[in-house]
Structures are given as C-alpha cells and as structure tokens.
A and B are shown apart, each in its own frame.
Chain A
Amino acid sequence: MGRYIIRRILQAIPLLFFVSIILFFLMGQLGDPVATMGGRRVTRPADRERLTRQLGLDQPFYKQYLYWLIGNDWAKIDMDGDGVAETSGTRLGILRGDFGNSLMKRGQSAWDVIWERIPNTLLLMLTAEVVIVVFALLIGIFSALRQYSLADHVITAVSFIGFSTPIFFFALVSIYIFSVNFKRWGLPSLPAVGMFDPQVGKTPGQVALHMVLPVMTIAFVSIAAYSRYIRSTMLEVMNQDYVRTAKAKGLQGRQILFVHALKNASLPIVTLIGLDLALLLGGALVTERIFAWPGMGRLFLDHMLRFDVPVVMGILIILSLMVVVFQILTDLTYAVLDPRIRYD
C-alpha cells in the first residue's frame, strides 16, 4: 500500500508539470496584463514598456515559465531598460511557495489574495456538497426502490427539468421569488447578495441566512443529476444475484438495502464524490457571481478578466493538485470498500 501511494505520487509529478506548462502557455495567450493593469486607465507608453520589463513579460516563454516555477533570485534581470542585467531577481517561484504578486491588487501576493477566499468558498461549497449528497442519495435510492411508480415518474420529470435548467436562470428565479416577491408579500424574505448584512455584522446567523439561496442554487442542478446516477446504480445492484441470495435468506428489506446493496453501489458513487470534492475549492463561478459571494469562483472570474496571471495560475495549480490528490484518495477508498481491489 505504501509503495502504491509513493508510486502514484511520483507519477503525478510529471503530470502536474505538463498541466502547468499548458496552462501557463494558454494564460500568456489571453491578453496583455499591462493593458488593463488592475482596471486603471490605459497607462502611458513609457510606463507600459517599463512595467512589461519589470514584470518580465518581455522575456521568451520558457524564461517566463521558469521564473514562475523556480523563481529568478539566482539570475540577474534588467530592470531599468539599459540593456544590462544587473539587478538580482526577487521571485522565489511556485515550487518554493511564491505564487508571485497579484497584478490587480498591488502590493498583495497572489497567495494572500487566494487564501483570503478559501474559507468563504469552502463554507459555501461544503455545505452545498453535503446537501447534494444527502438529498441525491435519498431521492436516488427512493426512486430505485419504487421504479416505475408514480413517485418515480414525478421525480424523473422534476430531475430532467432541474438538469436542463441553466444555473443562472434558477438563481435569478429564486431571487425573484424568495427575495423580491416574498418581501413584497410581507413574508420573511431571503437576502440575495453578499455574505452578511453590513448593518448587522458577520454573525453566524447572518452568514447562514445569506447561504440559503446560493446553496439551493448549486444543489438543485447537482441533485437532479446525481439522483439519476444513484438511481441507476442502485437499480443495477438491486438486480444482482447476491441481493436475491440475501432475500432468499429471509433478510429484511432494510438490511438488504443498507448492507448488501449500498456497499456495492458505493464504488461508483465514491468516484463521483471524489472528483467533486477536488473541485470544491474552485468555487461556483456563476452562483458566486450572481449572489456576490466572496469566494474563489468570483475571484477567478474577476482576475481572469484582468489577465491577472499569478492569481489565476495559482488557483488553477491548486485545483490541479487537488484533483490529483483526491484521485489517489478515491482509489485508496476503493480498496477499503471492495476487498477484491488490492494495490500490492
């Protein structure tokens, strides 16, 4: 087992390098960071030239990537544009934990910008994920056990509506109903923007209240998709011979379901959730945007539009790392759940 984990980690290293090269290349093609430079007015040509030089954007691709990766404190760079590289670099590179400085938020490192958002995003996304998994399991198992019943048909219809509704549409409709109209009708309405009411302050109650609509929005579409998946997985397992054997032994339906069926059905479900957990840190692009939730999704979108390469690269690399880590964890979970899988 230990050897297996080490082998998987060693295999992941070149993969991550490869991914980072592609991402870095694509980022370079997005646009000129200096052109917008934090959203301020277009700078004077002389300043732009200086900025380009100071940020190292005039360097060839391989050199930019190398500096991003391992830093440039070992090299001399030309800061004042006289053609002589005499200043020592200050960057340490991402391998030494230096994500670079944010271009949009001057004076802040990219890591600080990202780090600030991580708790907010995890709070929102983990809550949503728990809601998704619990409801999808309940609905999926329920409709599998009552296949082709009226309840199953209704759930199927609602799932297809949910599955085909764009997130932004659901978000706007939910705001329209629960924030706007509820307020108009004098009902207790839900807040639609931000994490808390500035007049009340950041209390747990406020945050929870502000989370209701975004969590609902994220969960709705995913529950629709997941419950379908869990339903079909359960149906497949419930038709297996060993479930018939369990029944022939006179076991109760509940015991058959939770002991014999669910453990077998858990493998494909774990695969799904494993990948999901990895991407939780990425936040929800559309939902965070609409509900003005200060999370990673919104950060990514804002900084992407301003070509803030260090921040965006930082987010993407963290996500890549998480995907790799969670894939290894998922595979290890398989071995726990299914005794036929061994990694020796």
Chain B
Amino acid sequence: MPDPTLARPHDPPRDGPLRYAHDPSRLLLDIRNLEVRFNTPEGVVYAVNDISYGIHEGEVIAIVGESGCGKSVSMMSILGLIPKPPGEIAGGTATFMGRDLLTLPESDLEQVRGIEIAMVFQDSMTSLNPVLTISRQMTESLRRHYNMTDEQATARAIELLELVGIPDAERRMSDYPHQFSGGMRQRVMIAMMLACNPSLLIADEPTTALDVTIQAQIVELVSRMRERLGMALIWITHDLGVVAGLAERVIVMYAGMIVEEADVDSLFDNPHHPYTMALLAALPRVDRRRDNRLNSIPGSPPNLLNKPRGCPFAPRCIYTIDRCRSERPPLIPLSPTQRTACWVTTSDDFKYERRQDSGYESQSAGTYE
C-alpha cells in the first residue's frame, strides 16, 4: 500500500539543469506517435496526429494551442477518458513507468488514474458531481485506493482541503459543490486529485472559467503543491502568460500536431515556428500604447475532418512556400532544447528578430494602427 503522507522523499531540485524530451533516460511518461481519431457521422476527425513527447519526473511542461487543437484530447486519450466509440486511438504508445497505457486493460488503468496520474479539469462547476457532498467525492478515491476507513479518509480529506486553502474545511465537507465559489470549487478539485499523491498531474486549463485574480491564486496553488509533492505537471492552456511563469518546457500544438517544442526561454526569446511567433505577437503588452488593437492571427484553424497534406498552418502563415503546401515538415532540432516543424524558419538563412521586424507584429501593426 502506498504511503498516503504528503511529503515525498525525493523532492527534485527546482533549479537543476533542464531535462529535455530527446533524452530518453528517466522519462516518466513517454508518448510516441500518438494518433487519436473520432469517427463521426460527418466523417473521421483527425484530432491528434502523430505526436511524440515525454515528461521527466518532477518536470513542468506546458501544452499551448488554441481550442480544438488536440491538447486535451491527447491527454485524455492516454488515460482512457475519451468516449470510445466515437473516439479511437489509431496508433502510438504512451509508456508510463514501463507500461503502455494505451494497451493496458481497464482494471489496470483504474490503478493508474487518480493514483499515479491525476487530472484537473477545466470547468469545476460541471466537473464535480452536483448531487454528492464534497466529503463523499473527496473520500471515495481514498477509500478505494488505500482501503481507508471512513474516519481515516475523512481526516485525510479535511487535511487536503486545508492544504489547498479551504477555510473551515471540516464544516464544508458536508456541503455540495454549488455552495462553493468557482475558485473554491477548483481548489476542491485540486485537493481531490492530489488525494493519492500522483506522480503526474495534468491540469487541463484549470483557470479558464475563473476571473483573473483567482486564476493567479490557482496557478500559485498548483505550483506550490507541485513543489511540495515533487510531482511532474502538464499544464494545458492557451494563456502564454501563465506558461512563462510556470513551465520549464513548452509544447505548441496546432491542428492535432506538435509544431514547436522548446524550453521556456528559447520559446519566448527565439520562437521558430510562425504559429508561435503569431501567438506571441498576439499577447497584450504593457510596453505598447494602450489604444492599439490587440493583434490576432488572420484566418481560422483548419477543419480536422480533412487530414492536411502539408503544413497545417500554411494557409495562415506569412512565410509559406510551395513546399509547405505539399509536404508536412517534421520536428527539426534546432538546438538540444528546441524542435520546430517548419521548412522556412529552420533553414539557415532565416533570421528571426524579436521586435518590430517580426513579420506578424509589423503586419498587424500596419493593419490596425
């Protein structure tokens, strides 16, 4: 029986050297060539297309991309949380502690979910069961996974709630989710998912439904809990501002593919995929005049019903060459810490300059100012 105490003996050092996906040693989760499809009446939706990445013990990575780019689906599919049918895992492996999660029988997967890999979801209003008390929802995984008695589980649940900052936790155990505010509900959700001391926490846009000050609190809470428990963290978001302060490594997804993967400094200082550049250019900035319109990327993401032949970003890209439309670029290593899937920007003669010369910034500036 795993030890249910919170402190972990092997808290990894925060300021150690960065570890990267191409280093296969000590990978906690190793995803290779994952393909997820949905068979709908309209046709096959290619939701996740051949993505590969890994995460080390105690590492924090962020997965960034706009809605519908396959961020959540890729994570849910490795935990067996997508409905099948219509969902279908068409290929790939997801090795976690020596076992392939994608071929694991359901009963074994139940032992991974919640204990080894936990997931915090986007909308805490709908993600908590409205007709069960917090106590019931907090204690059921403890009772199931650790065979705790009711008293033990209740005591532990109260301890967890206090840890995530729920005031008067003991009394609130008998409350229902609708009696909590949005931020408090998300805290309960986090406490619930940390109950069994997972070694990997997947946070699926946990701050989306919250207002900005609460968002900051939740980000702070999760990173504090991560440091305390020494778990690895995958933070799915479309908010690059959160990424900068939290993650060590960033994966940028577009149309179900990874288009760029880099350590956080390289990503912000030296982005190489045009989509990443465009995302950065779209960030609101304090050093800009306030009456400027926010930049946006013209066009819209491709329909995943058709598997794009070339680069999925080509129709919206300002650097597109013929090759982009006919041939899908692989992830090309630029440095030990950065890989980019682009024919143009990875070539030797391309030079990205951060400020006003960036194609996206000047184009947008010219259009809107």
Contacts and interface: CB of A to CB of B under 8 A. Distances in A.
A240 B123 CA distance: 11
Contact of B131 (A246, A251, A337): A337
B85 to A, nearest CB: 7
A248 interface: yes
Interface stretch (A68-76, A155-163, A256-264, A281-289): A256-264
B98 interface: no
B310 to A, nearest CB: 35
Contacts of A248: 79, 81, 113-114, 118-119, 121, 193
A255 B130 contact: no
A246 B118 CA distance: 11
Contacts of A253: 106
Contacts of A263: 129, 131-132
A107 interface: no
Contact of B110 (A239, A251, A260): A251
B115 A250 contact: yes
B129 A264 contact: yes
Given A241-B127, A245-B129, A148 B121 contact: no
A247 interface: yes
B131 A247 contact: no
Contact of B128 (A242, A251, A259, A340): A242
B26 interface: no
Contacts of A250: 110-115, 141, 144-145, 196
Instruction: Give the size category of B's interface with A.
Output: 35 or more
B81 A340 contact: no
B176 interface: yes
Contacts of B118: 248-249
A63 interface: no
A239 B87 CA distance: 13
A153 to B, nearest CB: 14
B113 A244 contact: no
B178 interface: yes
B185 to A, nearest CB: 12
Nearest to B85: A148
A339 B192 CA distance: 20
B45 to A, nearest CB: 17
Interchain residue pairs A-B with the least CB separation, the first 3: A250-B114, A250-B113, A241-B126
21 contacts: A240-B126, A241-B126, A242-B127, A242-B128, A242-B130, A244-B127, A248-B81, A248-B119, A248-B121, A249-B141, A250-B115, A250-B141, A250-B196, A255-B140, A259-B136, A263-B129, A263-B132, A264-B131, A338-B130, A339-B178, A340-B178
